[in-house]
A and B are shown apart, each in its own frame.
Chain A
Amino acid sequence: MENLHLEGSAKTPSIHFDAATGKLELKGRSIPENSVEFYKPLNDWIDAYGKDPIAETSVDVKLEYFNTSSSKCILDLFKKLEAISGSKTKVVVNWFFEEDDEDMEEAGQDYQAIISLPFNIIEVEEI
């Protein structure tokens, strides 16, 4: 299947979803006024990937900022990944946050509390 690559913008993150390696990355900022439109193709891609995934899927979330409109869409994206995780693929989420950015660390913990996927919350110097 085709990979999904989107350039980042002032209000949306860059997206690199690679079906052959099972590596999915969201990076940058996600602050559009209405996030639904932006996240729709991402969810569609995961639906298609979920039909024939590779054995290990990793999701790297490297966000600098995200708004509350995106927070719901990110949750829905994790729910999709939760649904495809099972016998065909094992999904792991790597949630990155910058040094001292407690808010982003807590945001990772919020999702960890709701979603039953293995979550690694990782501190880095710079995203």
Chain B
Amino acid sequence: MIKNDIYELYQTMERENILLSFKGVVTSDLLSSVLSIMESKMDYMDESPKLKKKVFNVLVECLQNLYHHIDSNEEQDRNFTKIEVKSALFMIAKKDDHFVIRTGNYIDNESAIDLEKRLDTINGMDKDELKKYYQDVLSNGTLSDKGTAGLGMIDIARKSGNKLEYQFLPINDTNSFFCLNIKID
């Protein structure tokens, strides 16, 4: 029954204390709206300005990752409709003393291998190593045509202060679904 499904979804979101969630195509306008909603929501919260800034920063990077990634998925294989491939999921939740940002998106298996390597490298580093790594990529890297600097995940790891939890779910021969879970405290 549709009614029950909606109630279940509502209860799950209530239980998880989800402040905002979205599934669909991530556009520049959407990012502006989401960031503005999250800023006003956090204005009313008792959290320290320091934590709010961290959440906002990490959110910007996570959402822009989705935005740029979806853009690069433009030419896709026939296993998916265009909408599916351009679509992503994200949610922001508040749990006890910390925030959680979760994202999910399709990724081709080749890119998944590279991304996994990068995430493992980042997760293997402590605070000082991350700082050094960030400075190296910043001073030696170049911007892509899309304006991405290859710094997003390093920055997320530095600002969140936690390991990047991730999973790649195999979908078919060419694609996986990438799940990212970031705790910010």
* Interface contact B64-A73, CB-CB below 8 Å: no
Quote the shortest CB–CB distance from B146 to chain A (angstroms).
6
Bound-complex Cα distance A31 to B97 (A): 27
* Interface contact A75-B50, CB-CB below 8 Å: no
Question: Which residue from A33, A64, A71, A114 sits with its C-beta under 8 Å from B68?
Answer: A33
Flag A12-43 by CB within 8 Å of B: 1 or 0 each: 00000000000000000001111110000000
CB contact list, A70-101 vs B, under 8 A? 71-73, 75, 98, 100-101
Q: Is B166 in contact with chain A by the CB < 8 A criterion? A: no
Task: Report the interface size class on chain A.
Answer: 20 to 34
Give the secondary structure class of B's interface. helix
Bound-complex Cα distance A36 to B149 (A): 11
* Interface contact B61-A67, CB-CB below 8 Å: yes
Q: Is A56 in contact with chain B by the CB < 8 A criterion? A: no
Known: A69-B64, A75-B138, A114-B139. A33 touches B147 (CB 8 A): yes
Beyond the given pairs A69-B149, A71-B138, 12 more chain A to chain B contacts, judged by CB atoms under 8 angstroms and listed by A's residue number, are A10-B32, A33-B28, A33-B64, A65-B53, A65-B56, A67-B61, A67-B64, A75-B139, A101-B50, A102-B50, A103-B54, A110-B134
